[in-house]
Amino acid sequence: MRVLVFLILCLPVAGFSADRSVSPSEFESIVTDKTLSYSIQGVEYGAEEYFGSRRVRWSYLDGECEDGEWYPKGEQVCFVYDALPSPQCWQFYLRDDRLLARFENNPDATELYELDRREEPLMCLGPKVGV
């Protein structure tokens, strides 16, 4: 029995990894010219396409897209969009080689987790047109 307990204690802890903070410059090198999809608590939430010059395009994956830009603010990355000009600031971390975004670096606030990273652009329908 003691041998079994000893062997169990010697096993590496599988799946454990600490979140590593990502600076805005590292964030830029990870995301530029990529499209990342994000989830909240395991449910797909939306995707963002990252262009050069810190320009972005966000979609809730409904075919509508919102253009904006991001800028560094200390260790956070802040986003402003044409339809939402007030800054939305996030602290980014790496967890298992995927980005984790914590809103305003508050552990009790919204966290987005990267589901996918690809080079294809977002699917955006044209602007709404009325009759």
3-23 pLDDT, tens digit per residue, is 333 333 344 444 445 899 999
pLDDT score at 6: 36
Range 35-43 average pLDDT: 96
The per-residue pLDDT for range 59-105, each reduced to its tens digit, is 999 999 999 999 999 999 999 999 988 999 999 999 999 999 999 98
Q: Collapsing DSSP states into helix, strand and coil, what is residue 55?
A: strand
Q: List own/partner pairs for 114-117 with CB under 8 A and 24 or more apart.
A: 114/36, 114/37, 114/38, 115/36, 115/37, 115/38, 115/39, 115/44, 116/36, 116/37, 117/34, 117/35, 117/36
Under 8 Å between Cβ of 116 and 31:
no
Task: Give me the DSSP letters along 113-131.
Answer: EEEEEESSPP---------
- Lowest-pLDDT choice from 9-13, 50-54, 119-123: 9-13
Confidence at 40, pLDDT banded by 50, 70, 90: very high
Helix (H, G, I), strand (E, B) or coil at 105: coil
- The mean pLDDT of 106-121, rounded to a whole number, is 92
- Nearest-Å Rg of the Cα atoms of the chain is 19
At residue 106 the predicted structure's pLDDT band, cuts being 50, 70 and 90, is confident
Going along 25-128, which residue ranges are E strands?
34-40, 43-50, 55-59, 65-73, 76-81, 84-95, 98-103, 111-118
Q: Considering the entire predicted model, what is its pTM?
A: 0.81
The band of 126, judged by pLDDT with boundaries at 50, 70 and 90, is: low
